[in-house]
Amino acid sequence: MVQNRMLTSVSSAAGAEPPAFPMPRTCPFDPPAEYAALRIERPVTQVRLPTGQLAWLVTRYEDVRRLLTDPRVSSDREHPNLPLTEPVTPESRRRIAAVGRSLIGLDPPEHAPRRRMLVTEFTVRRIQALRPHIQQVVDGCIDELLAGPRPADLVAALSLPVPSMVICELLGVPYSDREFFERCSTAQLRRSIPAEERQRTTGELRAYLDRLVTAKEAAPGEDLLGRLIVHNRETPVFDHELLVGLAMLLLVAGHESTANMISLGVVGLLEHPEQLAQITADPAAVDMAVEELLRYFCIVDAQPRVAAADIEIGGVTIPAGDGLLIAFAAANRDEEAFPAASTMDLGRGARNHVAFGYGIHQCLGQNLAREELQIVFSTLFARVPGLRLAARVEELPFKKDSNVYGIDQLPVTW
């Protein structure tokens, strides 16, 4: 379905109207088809955003990694030229900025102290210590799945509850509130939901987390937010507002993205039974398989940046102050970095994908996400060997309008 696709040509006439971004996906497994031609013909090219803004889209793997480690590239979420994929009100711009100020919108030297205070919670050792607990959570979800009716929706039974339960416990957010925050965070990422509604749900989630952080400030518990509050009393790094922004970031990123990767990974594995057989036969092969699924599906299409100085790259000079869109999904399909990049090959053994980004803002929770995916895939197919889709792949509700790609429901049977 994907390997023999012809390159979709892109117009290269000088002075032509830049192509619109985001670009549509035509195959549910592949990034927008235009990326393949852009990587070769115009690896750094201007695109037009729904806001009317122009930004430079960067599609080649080498250029993506170079820019993400270039100190002249800023993550400042408050810069007026930061590329936005949807029109925003001044109010939602303030919210984007507020979440950004807690971590992801910071440049050196402000970034490092915040990241270091947090990263102790996500070290390889700390995440490995969570393994038995995550295994329990996964087993519990599969017990319920097997005890329930067939067909079942795997998103509701497994993809969402596993990362939701894990991040709730880590952060100290009551899991009983999951329906509320899952609805809010899904809405935040959907371009097809009217801006006012998204703004309202974001506001609700913010108010909820504000109350939660206030309660924890009075009585910090044995959880990430509690430990940060205590640590902050000794070394003030996060004030109340920053903590709320951070809680929002970690809660949304912590369950939504992993949930989408679980669903897409299950579909990818069921669609390649010969490759699935390799990992069920050899549990040690699961770690590498997860890296390939991350590369292949790359659920975050692109991330915004701003050039803080003139930057020469990919045959063009990006003027200082212009917005950049760093296309992870395009870089992960670059043939120069990954031969036969459009083929899902679980034995590829490439960990150098940029599904988690690259540079100082590379995903804080990446090792947690990896571990959740490893445990889910190795457990699900061992315990439910007859698992199969209860709908055709083409009929699945893929999230074409979401800033984080995924599937809304995944009917399965066994």
Partner 1 sequence: MRIVMDREYCVGSGQCVLSAPELFDQSEEDGRVLLRTARPEPAAIDRSRIAVDLCPSRALSLADD
C-alpha triplet 369, 400, 407: angle, nearest 5°: 45
**Which long-range contacts does 180-184 make (Cβ < 8 Å, 24+ apart)?**
180/204, 180/205, 180/208, 181/205, 181/208, 181/251, 182/255, 184/208
Whether 280 and 382 have beta carbons less than 8 Å apart is answered as yes
Tell me the C-alpha distance between 206 and 136, whole Å. 30
Contacting partner 1 (CB under 8 A), which of 362, 382, 397, 401? 362
Among 23, 36, 38, 68, binds partner 1 (CB under 8 A): 68
Interface with partner 1 includes 116 (CB under 8 A)? yes
| Residue 41 parent element (H or E) | helix 34-41
Stretch that binds partner 1, among 150-158, 276-284, 354-362, 374-382 (CB under 8 A): 354-362
The residue among 68 and 73 lying less far from partner 1, judged by its C-beta, is 68
For residues 57 and 84, is the Cβ–Cβ distance under 8 A? no
DSSP structural state of residue 307: E
Q: Is the dihedral of CA 154, 158, 163, 164 positive or negative?
A: positive
Tell me how far apart the alpha carbons of residues 400 and 394 are, in angstroms, rounded to a whole number.
Answer: 13
For partner 1, the closer of residues 22 and 359 by Cβ is 359
Binding segment for partner 1 among 94-102, 122-130, 174-182, 248-256 (CB under 8 A)? 122-130
Contact status: 72 vs partner 1 (CB under 8 A): no
Does 254 engage in binding with partner 1 (CB under 8 A)? Answer: no
Structure tokens at 360: 């100082």
- Residue 196 makes CB contacts below 8 A (sequence gap 6+) with none
Verify binding: residue 37, partner 1, rule CB under 8 A.
Answer: no
Nearer to partner 1 by Cβ, of 11 and 352: the residue is 352
Q: Considering beta carbons, is residue 26 or 69 the nearer one to partner 1?
A: 69
Task: Count the neighbouring beta carbons within 10 Å of the beta carbon of residue 122.
Answer: 18
Minimal distance, residue 412 CB to partner 1, in Å? 31
- Letters for 150-179 (x = contact with partner 1 by CB under 8 A, - = none) are ------------------------------
Q: Residue 269 or residue 290: which is nearer to partner 1 going by CB? A: 290
Size of the site for partner 1 (CB under 8 A): 21
Query: Which of 21, 61, 122, 238 touches partner 1 by CB under 8 A?
Result: 122
Question: Which residues of the shown chain bind partner 1 in the complex (CB under 8 A)?
Answer: 68-69, 112, 115-117, 119-120, 122-125, 351-352, 357-360, 362, 366-367
